[in-house]
Amino acid sequence: MNKGVIFIISATLFGAAGTVAGYLIAKKKYLAVADREIESMKSVQKQHDENILKLYGIKQEPIKKETKTEKPKTKPVDSVLPPKKNNQKYVDYTHEYAPGEHSRESPVRSTSGVYLISETAFAESEYNYQSLQYYDEDKVVADMDDNYIANYLKLIGPAELWEKELKLDGKAIYIRNDNTEMDYEILYENDRWSDIASPSQKSAALIELDSKQDENGD
C-alpha cells in the first residue's frame, strides 16, 4: 500500500480520536464549572435567607431528627383489673315524646262525629277533603288563602281535640268529620295570622265574629 495513503488514513483516525477526546475534556470542564456555579448560587441564597431572618428577628432552630422509642410492653388492662360494674340506671328520655294512649294510627273519636285520623287513613279516604291552616301565635284557623274561619268548630271540632297533637307534630294533622263526610288537613304555622292577613281579610274577620256573636246571643 502506498505510504501516502497510509499516512492520510492514520491522520484521519488520529484527528477523529483527538476530536472525541477534546469533546470529553470540554464536557468534563463544563460540568465542573456548572457544579461550582450551582454551589455558589446555593451559598448566596442561603446567605440571603439568613439575612432576611435576622432582619425580622426570626430565629431558625435546627431540625431535630425524631428518634423512635419503644414503649414498654404492658399486660392488657382487662387481664389485670376486674370488670367494672355499671351502676347507671337506664333512663328513657324518649318517654316525653312517645305517643299517648291514643296513637295517630288509630282514630281518636269524639262524641260529635269529629275525630283525628292517621295520614294513611286520610290518603285512602273516599271523603272530600279541605286543607286549613292553624296560626299558633294568635290561635286562628284560616283557609289556604288566609281567610279567617270563625265557625271552625263545626268543621274540625274544638281545639282541645287536635291542638296538642298538632303542636307535637309541628307539621300537620288530619281530622275526619262524619257529619259532613269531609276530611281536613290542618297545617301548623308558627306565626301570627294578624301579621299575614290583609286589611280586607281582617275586616271580614270582624264582620264574621260579630255575626257569630249575634247568633250566640239569639
Q: Taking 50 as the threshold, does the pLDDT of residue 95 lie above it?
A: no
- Residue-wise pLDDT for 108-131, tens only, equals 555 589 999 999 999 999 999 999
- Residue-wise pLDDT for 42-63, tens only, equals 676 677 667 666 666 666 555 5
- Residue-wise pLDDT for 192-216, tens only, equals 999 999 999 999 999 888 877 766 6
Instruction: Look at residue 66 in the predicted model and tell me its pLDDT.
Output: 57
Cα(110)–Cα(51) distance, integer angstroms: 90
Cβ contact 174:110 at 8 Å? no
Instruction: Look at residue 213 in the predicted model and tell me its pLDDT.
Output: 72
Q: Taking 70 as the threshold, does the pLDDT of residue 26 lie above it?
A: no
Cα(15)–Cα(21) distance, integer angstroms: 10
Residue reference for cell 476530536: 19
pTM greater than the 0.75 cutoff: no
Cell of 173: 294533622
Smallest CA-to-CA distance from 158 within 101, 99, 104, 111 is with 111
